[in-house]
Chain A
Amino acid sequence: MSTELLQAIAASNEWWALGPELTLACGALALLVIELISPKEQHRFIPHLASMALGVVLVGVVMNFGKTWGEEELFGGLVRLSVPGQIARIFFLLSSLLVCFLATICLPRARAPRVEFYHIVLVVTAALMLLAQSNHFVMFFVALETVTIGFYILVSYYRERVLSLEAGLKYLVLGALSSAILLFGIVLLYGAVGRVEQGGIVHTGFEYGTVLNFLRENPDNFLATAGALLVIGGVAFKIGAFPFQIWVPDVYQGAPTPVTAFLAVSSKAAGFAVLLTLVHRVFSPLQAVLVPVLSLLAATTIIFGNLAALKQHNTKRLMGLSGVSHAGYLLIGVVASLTVPWAAGAVWFYLFTYLLASMAVFGVMAYVAGPDDSGEELDHYGRLARERPFLGAVLAVGVGSLAGIPPLAGFMGKLLLFVAAFQAHLYGLLVVAVIGVVISIFYYFGWIRAAWFESWSPPAPGAVPAPRPLPAGPTFIGVITLAALTLATVLLGFYQQPLTSWLLE
């Protein structure tokens, strides 16, 4: 280990492979510098700079998709470039772009400082992209913690508000708990694998490949199995699977709406990207243990998420708990992908449809909410379709897609997952999933009904309810973005060929 290794890295141009992440990190720093040196009246342009940085990187990644870097391990095995990694990059960039759009609606209204928000979003996006491509447990842990600590700040971003801070504290305590559990799992794996010498190079249990080889030879090593289960438990926290979902409703409700969307979409997708990598490339010899554990997680997650969402009136808690049940459907896809290889693509397809529909719904929520976006109830949607028909239509399409109504994209996502589960002979899980979908239609339609159909409710005794202000009308960019999301959701329901041929190959 001397300068020769560093020289070799410098000569091989490996840094180019991490261009998107490096650009975002530099862009994040540039935002802070621009805030320092530019006059105050021009600070309102800074959010647009952040969106532009994300957009440029997104275009760059899409243009270079699959061109330069195949299945290669870089930086001594820390990072592995692969097609799923590229898909994850595109997903996270798209999601962060939409989060920035939501933030331009919500942050000015809350009179919160703005530049730091976009700074943290860019850093978290870069870390998410690295997380999905990591090939080494040290890289994995550091990227994951960068994401998590960024989210602690984002969740408690409205620091004048008790609800936001309380959500931040809850996320902090439970997130740190899950990180500690995950770290202990990594340590156990490291200890179990020990020292492996191959061709004069010493490998350790931090490298995915070494762990995989070790598990192939000793599939019933107790220490390694315990470590693997602890790591899976830590990841299950990120996706909000059943015993670890306890933070979801409170944190989703207290966090600012853009952050709720970021958590619901990117954080969950990161969990699944990591879970797919771990299950396929590290822990695959442990299938005898993993399949029952993941199946149990999936079934309980679907049932719990749907039943808990039934009685929610707060829209953010509803999105959170229904998101828990979506995590359950996706877990079925992960289990199925162990026997049916294309199921991993189906998981990504589902995540993309979830991204489009959720962002449309969160966009409507951002416009409907007043300055306090934690107390938004279903009743507040009472006059939405009459006063803002456009927002009502976007909401109906988004919620319908989340519920899986046939012509919309969400239905195709569920169908692909269920076909994969059928091919993998997971009949029990399929029954649970179908029951879950039926329950979910009930509460999703309650939301659409609240927005589209007048309902008479008895006036509360003694108190005249304060009239809700008219929902803000979307700006030009808002209309374009929401219309694009809605259109994509409808189109993907009829014509999936481009996305499926790309994801399922």
Chain B
Amino acid sequence: MMTPFLAAAPVYGLPSYLLVSALLFAIGFFGVLLRKNTLVIYMCLELMLLASTLALVAFSKFNGTLDGNVFVFFVLTIAAAEVAVGLAIIVALFRQRHTVQVEELNQLKH
């Protein structure tokens, strides 16, 4: 059964949240595969992690267990660590090569 999209006081069920989460995940996934700019790829990776986080919170709410909410903090911490290391690598690479486009970062091919 479809929930009316613009009802006065909409109560969205679990499937709505999962749909949004799956969409975000798919956007992130295809962004990583198709985009050419390293920074945009990086944003897409974060989008994938956050899509998982949204699903986690939704499941946590509808399952009635708090563990999912707690796990979100772990995921956010890990994402922050990943960003710190990743941006450092991108900046170091930009200093050497003066580009962040993936098609120009291809010296490791024989």
A binds B: yes
**Smallest Cβ-Cβ distance to A165: which chain B residue:** B93
Whether A216 sits at the interface, judged by CB under 8 Å, is: no
Task: Select B82's contact among A145, A165, A169, A186, beta carbons within 8 Å.
Answer: A145
Whether A373 sits at the interface, judged by CB under 8 Å, is: no
A149 in contact with B89 given A166-B105, A180-B49, A183-B52 (CB within 8 Å): no
- Judge whether A172 and B56 touch: CB under 8 Å: no
- Judge whether B56 and A250 touch: CB under 8 Å: no
A312 → chain B, closest Cβ, in Å? Answer: 8
What count of chain B residues pass the 8 Å CB interface test?
Answer: 42
- Judge whether A190 and B68 touch: CB under 8 Å: yes
Q: B78 to chain A: which residues have CB within 8 Å?
A: 141-142, 145, 149
Q: B85 to chain A: which residues have CB within 8 Å?
A: 149, 152-153, 172
Task: Select B41's contact among A162, A173, A184, beta carbons within 8 Å.
Answer: A173
Q: Which of B65, B78, B89, B105: most chain A Cβ within 10 A?
A: B89
Type the 1/0 row for A152-175, where 1 means its CB is closer than 8 Å to any CB of B.
Answer: 110010011011011111101100
Q: B96 to chain A: which residues have CB within 8 Å?
A: 160, 162, 165
**Smallest Cβ-Cβ distance to A172: which chain B residue:** B86
Whether A313 sits at the interface, judged by CB under 8 Å, is: yes
CA distance A468 to B86 in the complex (A): 36
Interface residues in A177-214 by Cβ distance below 8 A to B read 177, 179-181, 183-184, 186-188, 190-191, 194-195, 202, 204, 206
- Judge whether B48 and A149 touch: CB under 8 Å: no
A159 → chain B, closest Cβ, in Å? Answer: 5
Whether B27 sits at the interface, judged by CB under 8 Å, is: no
- Judge whether B25 and A184 touch: CB under 8 Å: yes
B contact patch SS: helix
**Smallest Cβ-Cβ distance to B51: which chain A residue:** A184
Whether B108 sits at the interface, judged by CB under 8 Å, is: yes
CA distance A190 to B56 in the complex (A): 8
Q: A190 to chain B: which residues have CB within 8 Å?
A: 56, 59, 63, 67-68, 71
A230 → chain B, closest Cβ, in Å? Answer: 10
Interface residues in B67-86 by Cβ distance below 8 A to A read 67-68, 70-71, 74-75, 78, 81-82, 85-86
CA distance A176 to B59 in the complex (A): 23
Q: B49 to chain A: which residues have CB within 8 Å?
A: 179-180, 183
Type the 1/0 row for B28-49, where 1 means its CB is closer than 8 Å to any CB of A.
Answer: 1100100000100110010011
A358 → chain B, closest Cβ, in Å? Answer: 21
Interface residues in B1-59 by Cβ distance below 8 A to A read 18, 25, 28-29, 32, 38, 41-42, 45, 48-49, 51-52, 55-56, 58-59
Offer 16 A-B interface pairs, CB within 8 angstroms, sorted by A.
Answer: A138-B71, A149-B82, A153-B85, A159-B92, A165-B96, A167-B108, A169-B93, A170-B108, A176-B45, A190-B56, A190-B68, A202-B65, A204-B63, A204-B65, A204-B68, A317-B110
Chain A interfacial positions (CB closer than 8 Å to B)? 138, 141-142, 145, 149, 152-153, 156, 159-160, 162-163, 165-170, 172-173, 176-177, 179-181, 183-184, 186-188, 190-191, 194-195, 202, 204, 206, 249-250, 253-254, 312-314, 317, 374
